[in-house]
Structure 1
């Protein structure tokens, strides 16, 4: 079908829908819901048996009135009386009523047309707004995903919900069009949902129902819609068969949907689709359970705990849920919502019972029926639950503005966590703790104590800084059980907070009484426990670092040379420090120099000066340019830019070009044409080695010709260096301060498990050969950026 034809079809459907909505709205506005239920007595007279709340009949009629005429005719000739047992769409009613004195009176009542304010709100405004919202959803889905079959079924699902809700009032008024619309739209709600799920899950290679099952649901829904249409034809006595069939089909189909969703959830409870089915199952339950439990199912027993006009509002949950799911391709954090819902509904139950009990005690005993009490309880229960949900949001948004006298505990935790991220010693951590506690709590004094338990001697030693109140150390000495991290201990004065727990050692922070003589409130206690847990992590890390350093010292004593991983760690830390220093120089010193240079240049241009002064300022300006150039050069040497992006060959070419500008030697670099694959650590290592060799050639060897070869052989990088400098006696090559550069090259190669040899004689230049395994430590390529180190 062409796009033009699709647009025509869409426009035709929209116009029909608009005409239908206009007709139903006209019925709702102009016809008054009379709400009169009647039956035949033994004398074949029409007697009023029930009057609906907010109906016209409740205002003027009474149960027991005998209906003589409806619009001047015998009521038995009225189709609505004969088929449905109700009186609707009448202009006037004549009744016989027995008065309190036993006299029989004949009364004539004209029917006031037009919907009441209550009717306009619940039968027109709320359903109309819901239908408008669903039309907006449908239009947006059509605009975004018009060619998606799942989107098309989602649109039909939205429209069926909106039309069934909007047409329910006209159907209650026994309007033929409203009743037919409700019959088809309401019956097809679960069918369209099943079809939508079938199309949506197809993208995950899942089947919701079989094709035969889906076809069967469509046929059943169509037959029920036909039943509702036949019920408006005079002379076909099928009431209440059509209404019961509609409710039974709706209830059974929704139970079937929930059953299928549960099966899918169980099947995928440990897979990727678990959240999807949990999400859809929750949305379906929220939308349909209120209607099923409080209106549809009790309707079979002629009861209704909550009117359908209220429970129908919950049906909007499903369109909103699936609109969000389909458009954003994301899910709500349903576990978060469900956990709070179960918690809030649990704690709301008792307060709701107490409120209803107090109402029952303070009101007349028989003022309300048991059904009315159930309705009031459900309303109170729902309002308390919703209030608790709203309170959580208000606490987050409004509490800091209204409770300004309380401390900013969250800000304190954020500030404290930033401070302790740079802590390297226990004394620094204790200083940060003391500073933060004294900033938040008005306490007199703080002390830090340590409990060390000797398992062998079965004894406990308590040491402190001497600031704790008398009796605190004795109380800690007598502790029977080992307290957990974050526990608050009762002291003779103040409280003790466990802030560290490692092995047999515990760290306690003693907090003196507050100066205002008040005890710690709940917020302050929770805040202290939180920072105690933060401190506990830092204490544990500090102990682990101490243990690592001890193991490292022991390893260094047992071996003549440091292990390669130790050297690799040292070089990585060194490169991190170079990177930080280069960043500081670039962001501080270099920028300041540039600012002063521009100010000097602007001053020389804006103001007339003597020639001698101009010459002196020009010298200062040139000096500033030299300093700026030197700082830039230093930054580049400390942290060569774009090493990873350029690759080792291009990086060496750039380095050689820079070094030749400052030196008197010429360098020939030969590298094989293929790309040499090195990780970040290896690229930086080769770069530093060449940098050091070129510096030695300039300062010590006084070479004029240098040759460098770089090639890849199998899984090894082969590097060769030779110059024509003064050379040296290799027997004098020791790890002395004089040859620190050569020693650094050796250690750097050994850190990467490579091999290096030197060959030189006095007057015969200097030669270096090294090989690096290309596959070694490839996983550590990201370490050189310092991302795995604190600070």
Structure 2
């Protein structure tokens, strides 16, 4: 029968399940005792170490006790104790403590504190690994890739190495040899999988001879373990050989991957190798630093290997997540946050260690209470300091990935300083690349016939060619997002004859955009559209100015055009605020109110926080509505000029300390919307000037129609000013704007004022 990877994997799977049941049975029959022993020169077996919270500690066995019998027999005949130095596989034990002989019976049980790390977690790991394995197996049925079978074998190896460790920790011979083989096989099978995976991608990271060397080293360790036991050589020598070999294989893994990264650093696969290296560091470093190196140097370890082995789970699950679900998490964000939190944790670590040592030495009686109080206060200070750092450095983040709120703030700051369309587009592309899983962004213009009239100079046909249909589909509306296999297409702005589209691509397949990402992108597109319209209008105006003769310093048609552009900007911004920000705030307030209703009655602090949030959102909603009203007076469009002026006067009357009288008589003239807007802005500017400068107790505004003319009269009894002094423009800036508006309407303005005699202004249109 032909041996294939598929058959090897099935046999390995069956063997793994049988071994798991065997280990469970062993754990039940011989619960974990948690004691180490050694034989002295006087041929006595002495207990040398008791593991914290183990059964041995619980029943009162102490280091230094002499073991008299194990399972009603001579302890020297008990192989786990005599060779491995482990007081395990014990049913009964008799020890001599301070001249008193104590006999203990070890109860059979599957549950206990030690069983969490020895039985429950390893079995959970096996179940999760089997779940991942069946997912990989089903995904690989059609393509039948060798790398997928190797990945499944690696998943089984790491799961069974973890499970067999519990049998090995009891000194059981079969479990010992299986665990030794699988323990060393973890880095070797990992290298084998990576080598095959990249070979199938057309990249050779390293020679297969290194993998052969790894398999040979496993065989050497296994044979050495058998031979040294037959020769009755101390088990410590075996352990040193095994750990040294494991260390060598891990170093080899790191070196080969760094060398492989150097080979392919300019290819798309370099990104994956980076992720593999970081995953290796996170998974293996705790095991190396806290067990392997301390034992090789001092023959002692900091943490138990069964606890540290849990970090190895990062490798299989990150591999499945990355390579099979095609969802690559961002390595730069991960590294950035690790650097950030590592820096923040340095000082609190020293403070906590100092507190623990000081309290334990000064007053051991109340040590737990005092420690809890100090730890609580320290953590409060740490969290408070973190909030300050996050705010202070919000524009200097280690990584901008997924930093939606601060990125919008930075983007608006950047485009406010932009002077042309190219700078706005460049800032937009940069912020999307920084925040989302996007590596390239291309700007494309599409006309109304859906022809691509302009394509980013950096874009190749292979980049945008497969997505022309999606690009055309995105031109329907501003903020329209069309997702593709490697990213998305978004409409960031449009004019009467063109749409402006951004094609955003990743080097690998990306998951679907989340709701937060879609909302963030739409907000960016609305901001961008306003800026694009501004710059396009300015460009059109400058081109037109070059083709016509100058009509004086400020031609009437130019003023009218500028005011029209200004009103359009105000209107667009008001719509954007109302349709996006305001609606989101209202929705958030409603959710807060619902949470207030549903929250537990006893949750006083939470209710207080939610109430404060609701109150704050109400103020923000009110302010936003007032801003929208000021930017775009909706009442003017709906009910006309007179109603809008009455509403404007009422709004000002609430915030000023002078009396305002408005007389519109029977003003019923039908005016076009531009004229109504200009009159409305003139009155608005007059009231603003009165509020800032006049110090008048009374203001009178009259709007009437006399024959074919519209007359607007303004009068206040304030301090007035010297309008004839042309050198002081501070107070006349508002009046200058009013004059320009009147000029755009082809009207006339007469200003009568002097210091101490108030202001009178007559406008005729």
TM-score (norm 2): 0.48
Which one has a bigger Cα radius of gyration?
Answer: 1
TM-score (norm 1): 0.46
